[in-house]
Amino acid sequence: MADGHEQMTIMGAGWRIMPRNWAARTGMTAFDRRERSAAWMLCAPTALLMLALLILPTLAVLALSFTDAELGVREFAFLGLDAYRDLFTDRAFLGAFRNTAVYVALVAPASVILGLILAMMIEAEVRGRAFFRSVYFLPVVSLTVAMASVWQYLMHPSFGPMNLVLKALGLPSVNWLGSSDNVLVALALIGIWQAVGFNLVLFLAGLTAINRDLYAAAEMDGVRSAWSRFWTVTWPMLGPTTLFVVTITMINAVKVFETVATLTQGGPSKASEVLLYTIYKEGFVYLHIGVASAMAIVFVGVLLVLLLIQTKVLEKQVHYS
Partner 1 sequence: MTPALVLRNLVKFFGAQSILQDISLEAAQGELIALVGPSGCGKSTLLRIIAGLERADKGSVVLDDVDVTDLRAADRDMAMVFQSYALYPHLTARQNIALPLAMRRLNSFERMPLIGGLTPATREKRAAIMRDVERTANALRITELLDRKPAQMSGGQRQRVALGRAVVRRPKAFLMDEPLSNLDAALRVHTRAEIVALHREAGVVTIYVTHDQEEALGMADRVAVMMGGRILQIASPEAIYHNPDHIDVASFIGSPKINLLPGHVSDGTVIHAGRPLKAGLGGSDRKVTIGIRPEHLHLTTDVTQHSISVGLNRLEFLGSEVIAHLTDPSDGSGLIARLQPGEGHTFRDHTTLQASASTQHVLVFESDGGRARADDNHGRGMAHHAA
Residues that bind partner 1 (CB under 8 A): 211, 213-214, 216-217, 219-225, 227-228, 232-233, 236-237, 239, 319-321
Using alpha carbons, list the distances in angstroms from residue 283 to 47, 94, 260, 298, 302. Answer: 29, 17, 16, 14, 19
First CA to last CA across the chain, in angstroms?
55
Task: Between 15 and 320, name the residue whose CB sits nearer to partner 1.
Answer: 320
Tell me how far, at minimum, the Cβ of 310 lies from partner 1, in Å: 18
Nearer to partner 1 among residue 217 and residue 305 (C-beta) = 217
Q: What is the DSSP string of 40-82?
A: HHHHHHHHHHHIIIIIHHHHHHHHHHTB---TT-S---B-TTH
- Of 58 and 211, CB closest to partner 1: 211
Phi, psi (deg, nearest 5) at residue 156: -60, 130
Closest CA to 32 of 18, 46, 22: 22
Cα atoms in the 13 Å half-sphere on the side-chain side of 283: 14
Give me the least distance between CB of 112 and partner 1, in Å please.
Answer: 19
Among residues 89 and 225, whose Cβ is nearest to partner 1?
225
Q: Cβ of residue 209: shortest distance to partner 1, in angstroms? A: 13
Adjacent-strand bridge partners of 78: 67
Amino acid present at 65:
S
Closest distance between partner 1 and the C-beta of residue 201, in Å?
Answer: 24
At residue 67, φ and ψ (nearest 5 deg) are: -120, 175
CA 99, CA 108: separation in Å to the nearest integer? 14
User: For residues 246 and 250, which CB has a smaller minimum distance to partner 1 in the complex?
Assistant: 246
Whichever of 134 and 228 has its CB closer to partner 1, that residue is 228
CB 240 within 8 A of CB 203: no
Residue 274 is classified by DSSP as: -
**Phi-psi region at 295: left, alpha or beta (left = phi > 0; alpha = psi -120 to 50):** alpha
Q: Which is nearer to partner 1, 78 or 231 (CB)?
A: 231
**Residues 214, 225: Cα–Cα separation, whole Å:** 15
Q: Which is nearer to partner 1, 181 or 315 (CB)?
A: 315
- Rounded to the nearest whole angstrom, what is the least distance from the CB of residue 233 to partner 1 in the complex? 7
CB of 225 to partner 1, least distance (A): 8
Categorise residue 266: left if φ over 0, alpha if ψ from -120 to 50, beta otherwise.
Answer: left
